[in-house]
Structure 1
């Protein structure tokens, strides 16, 4: 067996677990906390709730919420400057993937200097980061447990993948209560993002027994809980999606992803689309592309989703792709790339950029930009 490693933060999980935030911050030496979030979470009241928890325990709280979805490099630089000017000592990231990735970017600049594009790629962060606590408000990105940060380079219109063990936080507090205020669209897009994390990492070239177990657990939980969570906001289903997101995050953080995320990053950098909404369009054709290189694993994914195995591995693998297409259609979400991309004229450029993304390296089947272009054509 290949030598492998498995890096995760300390995880505190459960309904109401944000009540442990202040003791966790004190344990990391906090006196003045730098809270990174966004306007949506301010509006929903969660930012004020977090601030009140911290201030009730004698901690100062400086809020930085000048962020958009798909955080920009200049926003990260502005946040790092604000952190240094206020004399903060611990970073808390509250939100979905965007605020948490921005918090990671801010911590990287605070600890290492330079510009965020200096750290694009793997293992380029050389100095320690400030202590970090992350509180995910969605069940999808897995950023709160992962070694990844995705930041948009506005000059190149590219979403950069920054990968480093340093980006794993000290503590992740996962409280499913935060999901109750989310829209149906956000619950679905986040869960499909987690599903793609699980599937891509399960078939990754770097998958190990430690990551495979987590990935299959996530796939099963999402398949059986997504409908109830999205349509009814069932509390048990939302809790299970939180577990699935965490499991998928632990898997992809250590095993890597694939060409689905490489394409999603390229599309997101060019068109600023919602990351999770790209995967219902791309995941089935990408799975079909990968079947020749990992037929048995694709069959196992299908068995995990459908619960039975009554066909050959190849037939079962193909059934799994069809099952996901049916599931996405039933969820009433866009399933064609043309629904979010204005025209086909830039797809070649997008595919040429995607094939260079760090996520493409661990895909089980080597892909050229022409392969990606054909996949986009199938998804169109």
Structure 2
């Protein structure tokens, strides 16, 4: 068993590889989140503040994560479903106290309303099958807070233990009837049209177990691997965008709902639910990386420019085995886009179209249609 001290354990492995560009040494660290104590059928959806993270003024190059047990073994999705993990940055006054923590979440570049999808890294069940490495000479800047502040990081991990449940897919789609949730967090009755979603699988909620199944508690962790380089003047900073297909923009006001239901089609057969939204990009730039986030049932997502050109098409991969990372029937990966440098540029004020497709041969509740985009102001030879 791993030696876990207090709320958090960190194993740091310093690796190095010499880049051709300016002999930059990339560093790697492997950390564990605080303990995730969870029982069969339980949902754990907690925020972990001030987690272990590389320090100093750095350029983040990648962030990968997965759920592991106490022995460090990868846990398959059919035992512990990783609904999502997200990593957010915050600033805190150096003179902060417990009674006055003064935490200020540092938003990404948008596009959602304040404090909605503000993360810098984050995915879900596809986490083991998504490439996240940022090409040189780009990076996400970190460790340069305003004077008088410390920069820290918070991780939100939402895991659902599906051992012994009556309906695994229903549990991971947070069906309200399976979690016996009838009211929202304010105590108001849920709408009959709300079949499931985040409201119905809050922290410590219980999904319906098979009769006679004896629940057993277990301890899990989010194991996350961070790669970075020391910040240098020749590194080009990236802006992080998280686009949401539920975002309906009115009068320049965004309204990201984060999730939605895919209702079953009436006629059966090969039915596809197609959602689209138009999103104005006040500030454009060069697209360096893109990837979509979907749930089970997702069949792909495409981001289009105002002229109809494809900026990025991201497709899901479904597992066909039993090992972690290839679980049959689960969405275990998403394809990514790494455009040739300078080939995809978004203009200032350009209106993008986000399209998200799901199979709707049956009901899917609480699905997401997000698109993660990294954008640069400059190309290497254009930097001032």
TM-score of the superposed pair, with normalisation by structure 2 = 0.26
**Greater share of strand residues, 1 or 2?**
2
Higher share of residues assigned helix: 1
Larger radius of gyration: 2
TM-score after normalising by structure 1? 0.26
